[in-house]
Chains A and B, each alone.
Chain A
Amino acid sequence: MSKDNKHPPNTQAGHLNDEQLAERAALGERAALSQLVERYHTPLLGYLFRLVYGDRALAEDLVQETFVHVLRQNSYQASRPFKPWLYAIATNLVRDYFRSSASHPTQSIEDDPRLDLQDTSPNPEELAQAADQGLEVMLALQQLGHEYRAVLLLRYYQSLSLQEIADALELPLGTVKSRLSVGTHRLRDLLLALKEEA
């Protein structure tokens, strides 16, 4: 029996929704897995890249680890929305990563040469250049707490609905709204402060 017989390709995988694809991938269907990767590689990398302060290599590793977790969850049931579940896994992996003392975010931030802007009193030109490159936004998001950063990223970069964010972060809907509101206001203040410095 050929390998293809063991994992029959499904030519209609593209028409299936995320939940059906996840269920089929967990049962060993390659086409379903490829389709899931195709759909979620880019958004997941974007989310994790921003959640780990722009460290692409780390974000790539976490994307792979997230998919590995998806595949190992044999108990996945199609009745459960896939997208919030996927982001829940990704968020928990980042949280676990930062919890380990060796990779504490404050250390990685301090060690990150791109963030020398904070410590070395950059001149206005440098700050203006940084703003153009989005580093200003990155700095502002970094200074938000993890709880605010995650909801803002999921909402305004990943376009998740409030309910999906609540499911992904296992928070009540009201908490999601309040964190979004507080996070948005804090972000405004941080960006203003950075602009004033520039």
Chain B
Amino acid sequence: MNNWPSKPSEHLTEFLREQGEAPEDAQELSQVLKALDKWQAPIPTPIESERLSNRLISLIPTSSAVRDAVNKAHQGIGYEFVFLLRLVRAQVSLLKPSFWLTSALIVLLGSLLVLNEVNLNRTLILQIIGPLLCYLGASSVFWGLELNTLELELACPPSPRQLTIARLAIVLGYDIVLCLTASLVLLSQGGDGLVALSLHWLAPLLLVYGLTLLLSIRMPAHYAAALTYAGWLAVLILAMVNKSGIRSVSNTFSGMTEWSFGLAGLVLIGVAIIFLPKTIIGLLPGKKSELANLQAR
């Protein structure tokens, strides 16, 4: 099979015909191809083959009834989704009660400010409070680096990407539920519709989440969250200055701009989910010093 025992000319002609050679060329080319036969490859002896088999046998996976059962369960339809749900449930324990309470209090406070019609632009209040939830959420759930447990997390069966998605699902999901609930309450006051009202919270929330996750590729999550939130506040201040002050009744950003913020946030979150797990290993303490040494060189 290997060393190509000389093929009859008609076989070569057939091969050449299959590859689209003209019949007049086939004769000449088949002589060329016959020359290939001169370069013989070594043939392993049966002992060498057996030796190779023995080396490989040590690598083949061992099977057991338990392993087979686990594999079968893992191949079931929707297993990945169930796995993610279980992972989400497990990650909930990472969050301290203060996260849940503080987030809810912030939304409650914001809603009260809007309902009592304090002398501020109500959109502005929502735009300040929405991203504040992101600051809380990101710094509460992505804290493996600060706790020096990142290496441990990377050694666990769930991949860094699965962990990121699960944790994001918890904090972002909770924030969205809070915002939507508050929006429903505020809706009773009239003014903007539910979509527009929710957008005031959610668009900056998503944008700041996206930027925070992206920055956390390079720095601890709570720094990234603080930096992004500070940046967002600066943008708000600049926008308000241009719109004649914080008491202006007009919205800080147009609806189109808010939609753009929201979509940009979703894109950034997607990008971060792709790249964060790949680069997270560079944040390990040992790796950081290795990287620093490399950069110093």
Contacts and interface: CB of A to CB of B under 8 A. Distances in A.
Same complex origin of A and B: yes
A137 B38 contact: yes
B53 A137 contact: no
B43 to A, nearest CB: 6
B52 A41 contact: yes
Most-contacted residue by chain A among B21, B29, B32 (CB, 10 A): B32
Nearest to A8: B63
- The A interface is mostly helix, strand or loop, or mixed, namely helix
Contact of B19 (A7, A33, A177, A188): A177
A34 to B, nearest CB: 5
Interface residues of B, number: 37
Interface of B: 1-4, 15-16, 18-21, 28-29, 32-33, 35-36, 38-44, 48-50, 52-53, 55-57, 59-64
Nearest to B18: A162
A62 B287 CA distance: 31
Given A6-B62, A46-B3, A184-B21, A134 B40 contact: yes
Given A37-B56, A38-B49, A71-B59, A187 B32 contact: yes
A40 to B, nearest CB: 9
Interface residues of A, number: 53
Contacts of B15: 155-156
14 contacts: A25-B60, A37-B49, A41-B49, A42-B1, A46-B3, A68-B59, A71-B56, A137-B36, A138-B39, A155-B15, A156-B4, A157-B4, A184-B29, A184-B32
Given A7-B60, A134-B38, A187-B32, A64 B52 contact: yes
Interface string A154-198: 011111001000000000000001101100110110010000000
Given A30-B57, A156-B36, A45 B42 contact: yes
A122 interface: no
Most-contacted residue by chain A among B28, B42, B60, B62 (CB, 10 A): B60
Nearest to A63: B52
A136 interface: yes
A153 to B, nearest CB: 9
A129 B94 CA distance: 75
A148 interface: no
A12 to B, nearest CB: 18
Contact of A45 (B19, B29, B41, B50): B41
